Copies of this chain bind each other. A is one copy, B any other.
Amino acid sequence: MLVNGETGNLISIRDRGFLYGDGVFRTLRVSNGQAQHWRLHYQKLQHDCTALGIVCPDFAQLSAELENLLSSQTDCAIKLIVTRGISTRGYAPSSQTTPTHTWDVVPLPDYPAAWVTHGIKARLCQLRLSRQPCLAGIKHLNRLENVLAAREWNDTEIAEGLLMDADGNVIEGVRSNLFAVLNGKLTTPSLLGCGVAGIQRDRVIAWANSNNVPFEIRALNWDEVINADELFIVNSLIGVWPIRELEQRHWTDFTTAYRVQLELSE
């Protein structure tokens, strides 16, 4: 674990990340000693920092720290957090704030291999995501909605919960982005009002665009989702998981999910 480039696992209780959730984060998968898609993660980190007015640490600096961390790791998950740093009391940040950044290394979660090959059981969460265009898409540290949604179930057979907004649009999973195949067209929810735009979502979109796969980003309602030809979720740790069961519906055709698994693994 590193805090501002130094070995350590502690931050100040005056850090704005702790006080206000005033920061952003990334979760990286490390396989065979390589942090997967580090450049894409950095681009997102930079984008999200800019959206909040936080000065993003330099790419070269973070890359060096990451390389240092990886020297003793082969397969793990790495969490990178950048906060606005410590500033004087009150919500308004002082202009002189130096951002804090922390790295944490944890073992890869031990998910059943069958979730990749045979799909997962998912549920619909009761919590509805709030609409906040100023924060939509950003992977920021204000994640109480995700925490409350994740507390809704403790059946370990259920791998993910899907989240709707107050208007009944399905937005994402608690820790993943959602794709649906609707009448043969790959579709993912618009994240202009809420949700987190992960890099695996971007990679699926980029793949669809560059391969003339029929594709659309738009609002998706529950009826469309539950009646989709296929559903699958993506994130940096899990890759691609087909959904085989959601509430009363079951799926057995994972053709598109398998194709995306193959494309994204390359």
Contacts and interface: CB of A to CB of B under 8 A. Distances in A.
Given A18-B81, A92-B150, A130-B131, 7 more contacts: A16-B147, A19-B141, A91-B150, A130-B130, A130-B132, A130-B194, A135-B144
A147 B91 contact: yes
Interface stretch (A7-15, A30-38, A39-47, A64-72): A7-15
Interface residues of A, number: 55
A131 B166 contact: yes
Nearest to A106: B89
Contacts of A53: 151
Kindly list the 4 A-B residue pairs having the minimum CB-CB distance in the complex, ordered from nearest. A21-B21, A130-B130, A142-B142, A130-B132
A130 B134 CA distance: 10
Interface of A: 1, 3, 9-22, 25, 52-53, 77, 79, 81, 84, 89-93, 102, 104, 106, 109, 127, 130-132, 134-135, 140-151, 154, 166, 174-175, 194
Nearest to A148: B134
Contact of A144 (B20, B127, B150, B166): B20
Nearest to A11: B13
Nearest to A140: B144
A228 to B, nearest CB: 25
A151 B154 CA distance: 39
Contacts of A25: 19
A9 B20 contact: no
Nearest to A22: B147
